[in-house]
């Protein structure tokens, strides 16, 4: 039953015309003749042997022309293939020869010779078909009745159904008779291609372009055309109209094929494989190939396509150098993908690996130490290669990066130095035999004991070096600890009121984050009560000076007043200040340092913006740097941290952190009635009376 087939219509022209192809049912080939002839198709294909041309004994049937037609051969309801129908036109060649007696005597021939002239003709016609990769030959027997036997006249044709082929292929057809009375007929046809299906590439972007009309619906499938097993599509879509489908560049392999068919009953599926010669596809194939472990000593190379490759075992040393092929003595084997393989080993070893190399370049493409998971990590064993020969004439060499070094040689390699010991280990049964045949044997000899002897002195040196480092660490421990916690700073202030004490406490806490090791009487009330302010100050001052720190004199209106009392009256009246006022007690020690010139490098001064004027600080104490806080915080922090302080950018960040911590407490002091005025009232006339 004829059925529209839109794939051929698109292949034969850009306009979507419809071409009807006859449908053939079943798998069997068939032959039929034109009326009046009888024909028979031999079962199975025959061998194509045209032979030499012979003379015709009389009228014979010969093929005169060939004609082809495309049909569909359908195996199931919706599974059809393209098929080429061939029609062979036949004619009678030659004529009956007159008997020699009749020619000599000039009389009519005997009636008996007239019988062959009215006999039927029979011929064996051969059809030879080639369309890569298919080649077939079939034999047709044709009989012509006597009534149709007229020399030089056509008698009809015989039709053969059919030779399968694919769109886009070139087919060649020959026809001749057995025996052959003339040169065989030859017909070459190019079946329609698929101009509507193309693959475009722009860099790494690959697209499948289908140029069909909008009303056409078709199925599209991508699959790997593997040698073994049925076709298994891994991408399938039903589409309508023109399409541009992006392809993943990594999915392009040589055996990637594209199959298309109309979404109609009894449609023919057409396939193309456009990447068979694409170098990028071959590179992707090697990247996609994987070696898989098959215990105990088997392996398999999984790949979407067949690989033209060879595999061999190699020996991988723990040094992670190149894996050394064991060829010879072991042979190379051709690789069949997706099939379990096994090397003829007696024992497995974790250092034995598989190399898979391309036939074309013979460069290492894949390598896996397949049995490392089951046999453990790589071992520092020496592989001995035993060459074949008489029992007393066997030779041994050790496989090393430089090659196979003969044992007992004078080479400077490790195997040559340990040659005698390795032979003793081999003869005493300490080596593991991995492979053995008439060509030789492979032995894996442990090297652990030799490595231990070699590394004893190295380990001893390492232990001595570690002990020296530990002693150096102990010596530097105190210095490192001090560096990690920061420089020491002792804060001295006068407790004018509760708000000012909170401000000093905020400054001390912020300085601890710089980091500095801060000491302040606010955090040592219990020690002050137990020791007394003077004893506490002496102990803190001595520790700070010994550690290279600084004593910070924080000036306030109350502190300035106390300094004036000491400078004018040689000290305040006993009991004039609280029991915890360390500032008042410290002046008896601080003033001598300033008077005797020992203050620079040990002391710095500071006062808070808005609470005290700079000129209010007594002149005696200006022998050391005096900083206004928080306006001069970067310089203040730089003086406290010393020359090993952070870089300027980092110092500025820390100054901003301290300023943010001080500002709330400073604002609280400035809002307290009368507090701000204290700073403004302590002018130059009140600040320097010495």
Edge-first strand order for the sheet with 205-210 is: 197-202, 205-210, 243-247
For residue 93, CA distances in Å to 154, 180, 633 come to 9, 12, 123
Mean local confidence (pLDDT), 110-126: 69
| Rounded-to-5 percentages of helix, strand, coil across the chain | 30, 35, 35
**Confidence (pLDDT) at 42:** 93
126 vs 671, higher pLDDT: 126
Reported confidence tier of residue 645, pLDDT bands at 50, 70, 90? low
Choice among 188-192, 254-258, 380-384 with the minimum mean pLDDT:
188-192
pLDDT 10s digits, 651-677: 888 888 889 988 998 888 888 765 544
**Confidence (pLDDT) at 177:** 93
Q: How would you label 17-29 residue by residue, b for 16+ Cβ within 10 Å and e otherwise? A: eebebbebeeeeb
pLDDT 10s digits, 25-84: 888 899 999 998 999 999 999 998 888 989 888 889 999 999 999 888 887 765 677 889
- Residue 513 and residue 121: Cα distance in Å, rounded? 119
In terms of Cα–Cα distance, which of 514, 481, 379, 373 is closest to 434? Answer: 379
In the chain, what percentage of residues exceed pLDDT 90? 16
pLDDT at 690 over 60: no
pLDDT 10s digits, 341-370: 877 777 778 888 888 888 765 455 788 876
Q: Identify the H or E element spanning 245.
A: strand 243-247
Q: How would you label 617-647 residue by residue, b for 16+ Cβ within 10 Å and e otherwise? A: bbebbeebebbbbbebbbebbbbbbeeebee
Mean local confidence (pLDDT), 185-209: 78
In terms of Cα–Cα distance, which of 108, 124, 120 is closest to 40? Answer: 124
Give the number of other Cβ atoms within 10 Å of residue 454's Cβ: 11
3-state DSSP call for residue 146?
A: helix
**Confidence (pLDDT) at 10:** 37
Q: At what angle do helices 648-671 and 498-512 cross, to 10 degrees?
A: 170
Phi/psi class of residue 403: alpha, beta or left (left: φ > 0; alpha: ψ in -120 to 50)?
left
Q: Helices (DSSP H) in 165-276: which residue ranges?
A: none
- Residue 370 and residue 342: Cα distance in Å, rounded? 12
Reported confidence tier of residue 2, pLDDT bands at 50, 70, 90? very low
Most confident residue range from 71-75, 377-381, 382-386, 603-607: 603-607
pLDDT at 686 over 60: no
pLDDT at 164 over 70: yes
Query: How far is C-alpha 70 from the geometric centre of its chain's CA atoms?
Result: 48
pLDDT 10s digits, 411-424: 777 777 888 888 88
Choice among 44-53, 248-257, 509-518, 576-585 with the minimum mean pLDDT:
576-585
pLDDT at 442 over 90: no
* pTM (two decimals): 0.43
Residues 6+ apart with CB under 8 A from 467: none
296 touches 374 (CB < 8 A): yes
């Amino acid at each position: 039953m004829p059925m529209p087939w839109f794939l051929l219509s698109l292949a034969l022209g850009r306009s979507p015309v419809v071409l009807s192809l006859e449908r053939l049912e079943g798998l069997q080939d068939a032959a039929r003749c034109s009326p009046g002839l009888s024909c028979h198709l031999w079962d199975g294909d025959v061998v194509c042997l045209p032979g030499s041309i012979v003379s015709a004994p009389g009228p014979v049937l010969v093929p005169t022309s060939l004609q082809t037609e495309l049909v569909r051969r359908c195996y199931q309801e919706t599974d059809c293939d393209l098929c080429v129908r061939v029609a062979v036109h036949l004619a009678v060649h030659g004529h009956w020869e007159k008997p020699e007696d009749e020619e000599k005597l000039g009389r009519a021939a005997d009636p008996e010779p007239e019988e062959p002239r009215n006999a039927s003709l029979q011929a064996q016609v051969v059809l030879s078909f080639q369309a890569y990769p298919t080649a077939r030959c079939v034999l047709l027997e044709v009989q012509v009745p006597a009534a149709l036997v007229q020399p030089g006249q056509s008698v009809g044709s015989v039709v053969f159904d059919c030779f399968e082929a694919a769109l886009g292929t070139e087919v060649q057809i020959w026809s001749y008779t057995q025996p052959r009375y003339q040169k065989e007929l030859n017909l070459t046809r190019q079946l329609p291609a698929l101009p509507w299906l193309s693959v475009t590439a722009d860099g790494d972007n690959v697209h499948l372009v289908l140029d069909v009309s909008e009303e056409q619906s078709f199925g599209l499938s991508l699959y790997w055309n593997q040698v073994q097993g049925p076709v298994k599509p891994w991408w399938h879509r039903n589409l309508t109209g023109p399409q541009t489908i992006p392809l993943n560049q990594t999915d392009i392999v040589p055996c990637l094929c594209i199959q298309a068919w109309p979404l109609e009953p009894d449609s023919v599926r057409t396939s193309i494989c456009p990447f068979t010669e694409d170098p990028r596809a071959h590179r992707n194939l090697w990247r996609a190939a994987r070696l898989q472990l098959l215990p105990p000593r088997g392996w398999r190379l999984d790949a979407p396509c067949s690989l033209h490759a060879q595999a061999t075992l190699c020996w991988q040393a723990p040094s992670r150098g190149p894996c050394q092929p064991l060829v010879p003595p072991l042979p190379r084997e051709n690789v069949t993908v997706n099939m379990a393989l096994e090397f003829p080993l007696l024992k497995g070893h974790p250092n034995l690996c598989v190399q898979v190399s391309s036939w074309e370049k013979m460069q290492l493409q894949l390598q896996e130490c397949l049995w490392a998971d089951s046999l453990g990590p790589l071992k520092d064993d020496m592989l001995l290669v035993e060459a074949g020969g008489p029992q007393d004439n066997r030779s041994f060499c050790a496989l090393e990066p430089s090659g196979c070094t003969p044992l007992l040689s004078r080479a400077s390699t490790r195997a040559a130095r340990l040659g005698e010991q390795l032979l003793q280990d081999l003869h005493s049964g300490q080596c593991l035999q991995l492979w053995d045949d008439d060509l030789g044997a492979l032995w894996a000899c442990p090297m652990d004991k030799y490595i231990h002897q070699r590394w004893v002195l190295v380990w001893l040196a390492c232990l001595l070096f570690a002990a020296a480092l530990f002693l150096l660490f102990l010596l530097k421990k105190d210095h490192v600890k001090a560096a990690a916690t920061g420089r020491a700073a002792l804060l001295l202030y006068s407790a004018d009121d509760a708000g000012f004490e909170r401000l000093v406490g905020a400054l001390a806490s912020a300085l601890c984050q710089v980091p500095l090791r801060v000491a302040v009487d606010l955090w040592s009330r219990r020690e002050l009560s137990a020791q007394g302010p003077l004893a506490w100050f002496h102990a803190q001052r001595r520790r700070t000076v010994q550690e290279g720190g600084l004593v910070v004199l924080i000036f306030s209106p109350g502190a300035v007043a106390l300094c004036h009392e000491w400078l004018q009256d040689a000290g305040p009246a006993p009991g004039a200040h609280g029991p915890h006022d360390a500032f008042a007690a410290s002046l008896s020690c601080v003033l001598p340092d300033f008077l005797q010139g020992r203050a620079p490098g040990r002391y710095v001064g500071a006062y808070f913006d808005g609470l005290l004027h700079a000129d209010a600080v007594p002149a005696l104490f200006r022998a050391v740097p005096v900083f206004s806080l928080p306006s001069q915080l970067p310089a203040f922090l730089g003086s406290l941290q010393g020359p090993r302080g952070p870089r300027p950018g980092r110092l500025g960040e820390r100054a901003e952190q301290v300023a943010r911590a001080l500002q709330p407490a400073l604002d609280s002091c400035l809002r307290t009635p009368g507090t701000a005025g204290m700073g403004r009232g302590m002018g130059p006339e009140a600040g320097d009376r010495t």
